[in-house]
Structure 1
């Protein structure tokens, strides 16, 4: 993506401000040069606003921008290298101080230099940067650039940011879409017995709402109920036949193994569909009929199963070449429907007088949109074209927004993934008392709130409309490529900084074409055929982000240790068998994902030297307790582990050390053999009060560990605030909780009998724990959620709790009771029922039932007075 100079220079200038006033800079003799560097940067930054205005009228200014970006990238690399080399020098001089080295921040790294040649080299590099910046500043006269005030990067306020939902946007899905979706569903489910395979189509121009309608059909309750398997595939203009076949096979619960030819995959697809009763497939954004005729038609017809295929396309000529059972043409919204959509987007539904006053203006606006839902959505939110949407963003959000250009059409955008990438890229400025990943997710949510992303209706992921994606590609084309083969033949001196390999066959060719530029910082090659050998990896020494997940790579080259700038490394779902020892040289690495590497035998001991590691996803239990920056640890699918012992805390833990000093989130997922978890006698019996265990832990999640019996006793010495346990079928008691615990979530723990909470507990959620009979210490509880749709009565422990609450007389009580239960239980809770005497004293109650009658009012939180 294109560097947003204003954001980049603001952050870099702030870092230099701490550097130039360090006393140790005097020893290097570069204080003056560093001061000049910062001052010249700030002078140039004042020119950026005027240069941005003039660049569309004067193409030569683009060259000025390009040179400035080159200098800033080089400056960042030099400062980064200073920190790396400086830390290494200190390590060589005092090997015992390795742990303390990680405490050196960006500004104090220069104190490490004692090597005269190294200091001389660093000084010369900084002087060279200053010389280039001076020339850029002098060139301002030629372009007649005027100074303006430097804008400040706004702080991200976690409290004020609006929360978002993963549901389909109700403001863009109106009455017409609902009616059309119901009609399509009726056609799809008609003649299910007589015809095994039928094809349906949605046609219309780009942006008119074809995909939105297809989504409504795909998620329709009747579709999800009738079909055993539903699969969504985005085809788009460029696709590989084998990849499309693999996607559908995966969706149909099939396994293609090592098969990679069209003929083999078609046979596997036929067999996969044959093994199920029915299949509903959406082929979104189809540009040619061969997708159906040459790929899917024969396997589906030969499967002899009920198959319904829904395609969306802009070209009606395509559907004429297929045997389409029914075609739905999406037309423009009517004037009245357009105004209705705009009115809802402006939250005027309940303000009739104000809406009537704005009707004339609103109709003028929607008429300019010509009935396009997307245009109405944008104009309602930002009152302008797509480019104005981008210009309205603060500079730090522009960087994040343009990063989406690296992803294909209709890609599912995971906020957690982008949070890690943006932190690794350096887009997020650290703020006191805030986790950088949380700040990054707030940036993601802000883009969602500004309607630059479209929410999905499941799993929290989003997508981007192809028109907005086109804008990101246009604005970042000088530095970013999404697998564009034209890169090889470009006659312009483009320095690509970030590439995403989309066309698998061209992956190596594209990479070799740009590797010699020595500028590539990000390589996203997930699910590609790219194999990085030792020589090719050495040519990518400036990489900060490397994603080769879901590839066939078996050997990770030893030269991975040469990527000293690397912050993000994703190897999940690969065939690697070992990780080279050289990985310990990646001292800047912040995010490492080695989950689902089933052939990986063991982790190198050097992994504990990655002192800047913030998040690790793996399938083993390395001794990671002494990693000073590790904030999130997720361990999944460790199928052989039966016991977690004290070695997990670190091999050299003693009475004066801190185990997992900054870990905030720990996930233990899918351990089918895990029975025991212990921190060791020293911790469990608290014989070493100076040994601090998990002092920053916020949340612990234990899921799908069916043999797990008991929480470790030492957990009570941690700072854990939230605990979630799901599927621990042999767990009999929950105790040893932290004195700071505030949230407890328990689900599907069949043998759980006793829960001993802490007085600080505020939220308790219990689902399908039928043996539970005793819950203690709920004095401070503010919310209790109970979920069991089968039982006809509430459990004794809950009734006892409600009875105790009835004895309290607190006018300020804001307690909430959530009941997800049977109709019989709800009948007992309302006035006249056997539970009424207990329920009537609860300030707020929220009840859900499988009954449609109850669901008509159950989504409301109401005071109990409504029962009177």
Structure 2
């Protein structure tokens, strides 16, 4: 991790020196020499960091030395970012002032006052660099006493090797364990006079307890057997009120603002009274019977046959809970470990190579001591290695001799971690900022990595693309699990195993903190000077009375509500967070306005205010955040306007402002945001026409990947719409056109739609509230050959569907709320191709209130929807005829059955709700 930090600092130093030369701006006389000396020293220190990171596990003094190095690296990064921001602001001022000279920046200062302030600022930066240089020299001298092994190299970092992520949903070799647990869950229960029937799964961390519990929890017989199923991740500390609240939320299917234990227990008892329930308490550590008793007493009123399934690493926990049945989950056998390892490690390796490495692989698998998590981690690591010497190096690594990890962490994780390139080490360890069992949204994670400058922005590739590649590499090495995918197979969210989370926290030491607002030590934790990233878990309307004094070094502040509405969170101390790179306050309904001081957060790159429903305005000072990359104000119902100076945010890449009903338009200047990749909620028109952005400003946004335009009904004419230049934007792959309802002439709307024809490379399209009988010409012709997803919604005047069957790559089609459509026939399939809908996998219709007939006429030699996997029809009460697609699909399913009999049930689902 220290290596990655130093890499960021060195890259930034080199970039700033070049930028300073280009802009002809200097700091203070003599500082250039200090900077060159600092760079040389950092290069020398970095050469020994890899050895230091391995030795810190056994040598406490080395660990202290590394921590000191990381602290100074963070300080350097802050100072260099301050310097970079100063140069960037000078560049912006020069570009915005036509009267400025294009010579030296120093000659462009508009007033002596600003000139003095800027010179003073540069001097302050220069003095900080000198102080840091002295500290780094001391750290370098101190390193000599440890006799570190140097591994200095001028070679460019190796490009990441792509390996395949193996997402094994079932625990290998656990058939008997699964059957035993199912018998305990489904069997007849005895009289429960002494309390609920408790089953405890006991085993080492990483042995597969949670996965086995998930397997049982989601089993079809279990789903049918119990009236209520509840899953709660407990972890440490055991806080009864938090667990009670989680149980109630699972029972009600929504968040609860109750915080009184008695009220919570009463609501739970009302929900389970007389009903047969299954409660899973995952990862229990607490051995205090009094705390457990508070929870147990409110569960006694459940119906006969109710069960509580507990997973724990400690057998004494099972005894304390007075378990009815304790199931010890042992390690995998040698044969099972070897089989699982081979399944992953030899994937895509030829038979000859697998035979060559088989014996070494078996020995590596044996060292994992039968822990599935360790086997998967090592198997994933070896999947990318074909050299026999590399395999022997892993087998003979000294990491296997580290006793410190026997109880808490696996050497397999260390081996896999140290094999990562420095940027991936940094990205992985950052994930310690998320709470245990937290569902991590991949898009959110990548934007947080971007905010911390962990992704290489010098590359020609998009930072977002690099972030996705980094995540997929970490996932392939088993650092993540429980993947959720979209219909296209892309991972959208995941979790971390608690053992992996413990490992990440070990790596970050005290840098990443997770604190709860009802924990007594909150104030103490947030006051630690070493903390760089903090997550505050807020429980509903509990008033957060803590202070954030001295938490001045935070780079990340995430406020997690776990689905609850945050009624109170203090903003009065936020001006202290001057080094923040990422701030996430989503769901805080107490915020009506942000303090003006937010404009002083010059390092801020990620600001999430989504679902802050009372937020009515943003301060103009936000326009001073020239480093800001992401501004998220989705679903801020009270928001009426954005800062007029938003055009100054030249580094903004993602502006998300959809579902803000009181927002009447975006300010002028959005067209200057040429770095934008995402623009959702672009609102056409507005009450103050002179102050809002016109649709023609879209023309300058050449880097847009995703765009949502709303209130298109306010576009004056087709000429204005054509100025958006959508058909020339080759980068755009996702587009939403939302017309909104209006009383104007439908002819105008059709002409506007014609003028908004997208580029042929578009991949995803949504059309909403299109109120014309005829579709635009580009919808009636196969003019979008790359389209894979299409949604047509609330197009209530359209009487027929366009010939979508001719789209060659379309995989997902959603059609809804078309109340004029009564018949779907050949026009839907098109006529020019031999296969209608050749790639379509998922088709859904919803709220087709007048739809009566769906007919597919058979034509010799023509296929219809040969790849269809799911068909859903909802709320279409008048539909009386459905084509015989099942017969056609049967042949496809028969072929699938021959090749994939074990997964047949996932190939086709027909769901009709009338």
Instruction: Indicate the residue corresponding to 2:677 in structure 1.
Output: 631
Give the Cα separation in 2 of the matches to 1:544 and 1:331. Answer: 44
Aligned counterparts, 1:493-642, within 5 A: 495-502=530-537, 509=546, 511-512=548-549, 514-515=550-551, 518-527=552-561, 533=570, 535-551=572-588, 553-555=590-592, 556-574=594-612, 576-581=614-619, 582-598=621-637, 600=639, 603-607=642-646, 609-618=648-657, 619-620=659-660, 622-623=665-666, 625-626=670-671, 627-634=673-680
Query: How has the CA–CA distance of structure 1 residues 691 and 81 changed in structure 2, closer, same or farther, with 3 Å as cutoff?
Result: same
Contact kept, 8 Å, 1:333 with 1:373, in 2: the verdict is: yes
Instruction: Indicate the residue corresponding to 1:343 in structure 2.
Output: 342
1:467 pairs with 480, 490, 499, which one?
Answer: 499
Query: How has the CA–CA distance of structure 1 residues 388 and 818 changed in structure 2, closer, same or farther, with 3 Å as cutoff?
Result: same
Structure 2: unaligned runs, 5 residues or longer: 382-393, 395-399, 401-410, 817-822, 846-852, 872-881, 909-914
Give the Cα separation in 2 of the matches to 1:111 and 1:222. Answer: 78
- Residue 45 of structure 1: CA displacement? 1.7
1:443 pairs with 470, 487, 492, which one?
Answer: 470
Give the Cα separation in 1 of the matches to 2:695 and 2:365. Answer: 69
- Residue 779 of structure 1: CA displacement? 5.9
- Residue 527 of structure 1: CA displacement? 2.3
* SS of alignment partner, residue 285 of structure 1: strand
Instruction: Indicate the residue corresponding to 2:38 in structure 1.
Output: 40
Q: Is the aligned partner of 1:189 residue 2:186? A: yes
Instruction: Indicate the residue corresponding to 2:786 in structure 1.
Output: 742
Query: How has the CA–CA distance of structure 1 residues 315 and 479 changed in structure 2, closer, same or farther, with 3 Å as cutoff?
Result: closer
Query: How has the CA–CA distance of structure 1 residues 559 and 692 changed in structure 2, closer, same or farther, with 3 Å as cutoff?
Result: farther
Instruction: Indicate the residue corresponding to 2:427 in structure 1.
Output: 400
Q: Is the aligned partner of 1:389 residue 2:412? A: no
The worse-fitting range, judged by mean Cα deviation, of 780-789 and 596-605 is 780-789
Contact kept, 8 Å, 2:196 with 2:307, in 1: the verdict is: yes
Query: How has the CA–CA distance of structure 1 residues 688 and 664 changed in structure 2, closer, same or farther, with 3 Å as cutoff?
Result: closer
1:480 pairs with 512, 517, 524, which one?
Answer: 512
Instruction: Indicate the residue corresponding to 1:665 in structure 2.
Output: 706
Contact kept, 8 Å, 2:41 with 2:136, in 1: the verdict is: no
* SS of alignment partner, residue 435 of structure 2: coil
Q: Is the aligned partner of 1:118 residue 2:150? A: no
* SS of alignment partner, residue 311 of structure 1: strand
Contact kept, 8 Å, 2:826 with 2:856, in 1: the verdict is: yes
* Matched residues, number: 807
Contact kept, 8 Å, 2:238 with 2:286, in 1: the verdict is: no
- Residue 391 of structure 1: CA displacement? 1.3
Contact kept, 8 Å, 1:9 with 1:45, in 2: the verdict is: no
Q: Is the aligned partner of 1:76 residue 2:77? A: yes
- Residue 418 of structure 1: CA displacement? 0.7
Query: How has the CA–CA distance of structure 1 residues 220 and 45 changed in structure 2, closer, same or farther, with 3 Å as cutoff?
Result: farther
- Residue 562 of structure 1: CA displacement? 2.5
Instruction: Indicate the residue corresponding to 1:837 in structure 2.
Output: none
- TM-score normalised by length of structure 1: 0.77
Instruction: Indicate the residue corresponding to 1:715 in structure 2.
Output: 756
- Residue 425 of structure 1: CA displacement? 0.9
Instruction: Indicate the residue corresponding to 1:370 in structure 2.
Output: 369
Instruction: Indicate the residue corresponding to 1:838 in structure 2.
Output: none
Q: Is the aligned partner of 1:754 residue 2:796? A: no
* SS of alignment partner, residue 118 of structure 2: helix
- TM-score normalised by length of structure 2: 0.74
- Residue 187 of structure 1: CA displacement? 3.2
Give the Cα separation in 1 of the matches to 2:896 and 2:451. Answer: 45
Give the Cα separation in 2 of the matches to 1:574 and 1:182. Answer: 47
Query: How has the CA–CA distance of structure 1 residues 648 and 588 changed in structure 2, closer, same or farther, with 3 Å as cutoff?
Result: farther
Give the Cα separation in 2 of the matches to 1:854 and 1:124. Answer: 70
Instruction: Indicate the residue corresponding to 2:827 in structure 1.
Output: 774
What are the superposed Cα offsets for residues 104-123 of structure 1, whole Å, 9 maximum, x if unpaired?
9xxx9999667255235414
Contact kept, 8 Å, 2:514 with 2:536, in 1: the verdict is: yes
* SS of alignment partner, residue 785 of structure 1: coil
- Residue 336 of structure 1: CA displacement? 2.4
* SS of alignment partner, residue 211 of structure 1: helix
* SS of alignment partner, residue 523 of structure 1: strand
Give the Cα separation in 2 of the matches to 1:143 and 1:32. Answer: 27
- Residue 830 of structure 1: CA displacement? 7.1
Contact kept, 8 Å, 1:420 with 1:591, in 2: the verdict is: yes
Query: How has the CA–CA distance of structure 1 residues 860 and 279 changed in structure 2, closer, same or farther, with 3 Å as cutoff?
Result: closer
* SS of alignment partner, residue 233 of structure 1: strand
- Residue 680 of structure 1: CA displacement? 1.7
The worse-fitting range, judged by mean Cα deviation, of 28-37 and 89-98 is 89-98
Instruction: Indicate the residue corresponding to 2:839 in structure 1.
Output: 784
1:434 pairs with 461, 471, 480, which one?
Answer: 461
Give the Cα separation in 1 of the matches to 2:585 and 2:240. Answer: 21
Q: How much is the aligned-residue C-alpha RMSD, in angstroms?
A: 5.1
* SS of alignment partner, residue 231 of structure 1: strand
Give the Cα separation in 1 of the matches to 2:741 and 2:3. Answer: 49
Aligned counterparts, 1:217-256, within 5 A: 217-227=216-226, 230-254=229-253
* SS of alignment partner, residue 204 of structure 2: coil
